[in-house]
Structure 1
């Protein structure tokens, strides 16, 4: 099915009204805006979306319709719909945006980001790379970057306990369709296996793959622990996501509505930071209470060092993929982290 046909079909599914009537918004005319994200009801992106919606609707006559994972397709689909103007807002992680914006893959360089909650929050608040450099990169692709925010520490699930790169040899680990993430797991000794999210549970269940990575709340929400019960905390990074608008739509808004959208994204950001504080611990408790098969392994400093030693080759690959702009962004990231 080609891209143009999918976009037309989605537009018909959304409404029988014209796109102009749906998406044109002025200060004098209330509009119904549309927002899609990648997760399920109650997950982090869903909480963010509904906080954004709450602010918009409490402070204007506009309404906002939120679409969750699968309702309009997968991550690639909702990005295409946003770029085409069918959707006004989209929440998509850099794991999928990397094909569009190679520099966004920087979040998949292992052991680059801090992993303790307070440092992560400070980084997202103050980082020049996050708050100044990334909006310019997204704008080049017709997207108005409104917010980047963390969701949780990445955790590997596996068919058996592993604490060294050697123990990951020949293990097929599901990754998002992201070349740098594949490079990370190759460096870790595993066999990276790109798969759409909808196929992951079944692939783990049938041993087509032996593991995957995700924040712990997503492992709990998707019940991945049922088919991949060994949880391994490697400390290699946090899952980051980005919320953005179609740039033409945003630029056509009145100054009043642009301010409204900015304030709504800031409000949702503050709310989501509060939401994720303690979320990992509560999700892990739910998992361990639900299954006696689950094991939890937290690598010690010496074990982490064995994985960290392999990170430089991923940095080299990132610079190869992203070129001079990626090299400059990586330098700024490291400076921002140093400034913490």
Structure 2
């Protein structure tokens, strides 16, 4: 994880000055989502809006990890190979550790609380920290609240996770959550997950329902426990050198287009999560509620770790979430 941060910083120092002198007319907007995912649709909305407010920019959307995984996309954005990416919270946290704190266990009550925090001073603080590493956080889209799926059983209380081989994203907070719960977590790229589940490398995984359904993970791991243990955002980032090369008008255009597409994405994500239970049940998935209080108590040690590492930021974040 530290190697990604170092490579990003090194590339930003070398390429920042070059990118600042040359504005590409084509804006490559890369992401890892497949058709049917609200992130995929929102990227198309973004691409449609930008030409309406800028005569200088056209948008080329590169979906489905065609420009590499999330880490590769961040590196490419810093180097000016692509201009923007709808990326992942865990991967960006390898560069800006405070972004990972958004995923502290059971931090947010609901999506509305999340949006209020991300669109306020906390989001501004995270953007300033990202700029120190050559990236600009334009806005935050949703990824959603994550739930555990298993091939053979429900996970209704922490003891059900004991020894479970579970895939997580490359997110240290997620790894720490499942270690605290007694599981055996390991990170793996999203694009490799279905194959790894089919092969039995993992007993299960955890994701929001929209991701579970769009990737058909419920067909492989049909036991879905509604843990809601962690929220994850989709930070929309730009290479800082490219961003600084834009005119004020184009920066405003891109910002507003990303935010407008973000409200579409947030709404689609929210509605889909309300409706997907029925669709998943119809396709063989099963659902169970969990002992939330037991999970909250079992993961309290995760807060202690990050309060020691990040100090006042975690307390500020908890106050904002409340």
For residues 200-242 of structure 1, what are the alpha-carbon distances to aligned partners after superposition, in whole Å with 9 as ceiling and x for unaligned? 2122222221111111011001000111010011132322110
State the secondary structure of the residue aligned to 2:228.
coil
Partner of 2:138: 146
* 1:36 correspondence with 2:26: no
Structure 2 unaligned regions, length at least 5: 5-17
* 1:298 correspondence with 2:294: no
Partner of 1:70: 65
- Judge conservation of contact 1:147–1:244 (CA < 8 Å) in 2: yes
State the secondary structure of the residue aligned to 1:239.
strand
1:133 to 115, 125, 128: 125
- Judge conservation of contact 2:32–2:66 (CA < 8 Å) in 1: no
For residues 28-48 of structure 1, what are the alpha-carbon distances to aligned partners after superposition, in whole Å with 9 as ceiling and x for unaligned? xxx111110121123122122
- Judge conservation of contact 1:133–1:329 (CA < 8 Å) in 2: no
For residues 244-264 of structure 1, what are the alpha-carbon distances to aligned partners after superposition, in whole Å with 9 as ceiling and x for unaligned? 111111111111111111211
Q: Paired residues, what number? A: 304
CA RMSD between the two structures:
2.1
Partner of 2:115: 121
Query: What TM-score, normalized by structure 1, do the two folds share?
Result: 0.84
Query: What TM-score, normalized by structure 2, do the two folds share?
Result: 0.88
CA, structure 1 residues 176+151, in 2 after alignment: closer, same or farther (shift >3 Å)? closer
* 1:49 correspondence with 2:49: no
Partner of 2:236: 243
Partner of 1:24: 23
* 1:313 correspondence with 2:301: yes
Q: Which segment drifts farther, 36-45 or 133-142?
A: 36-45
Distance 2:265 2:192 in 1: 28
- Judge conservation of contact 2:95–2:130 (CA < 8 Å) in 1: no
Partner of 2:13: none
Q: How does 1:138-217 map to 2 (within 5 A)?
A: 138-159=130-151, 160-217=153-210
- Judge conservation of contact 1:35–1:89 (CA < 8 Å) in 2: yes
Distance 1:239 1:102 in 2: 14
Distance 1:235 1:178 in 2: 16
* 1:224 correspondence with 2:217: yes
State the secondary structure of the residue aligned to 1:64.
strand
Partner of 1:112: 107
Distance 2:305 2:257 in 1: 37
Distance 2:112 2:188 in 1: 32
Partner of 2:318: 334
- Judge conservation of contact 1:35–1:64 (CA < 8 Å) in 2: yes
Partner of 2:10: none
Structure 1 unaligned regions, length at least 5: 4-18, 26-30
State the secondary structure of the residue aligned to 1:154.
strand
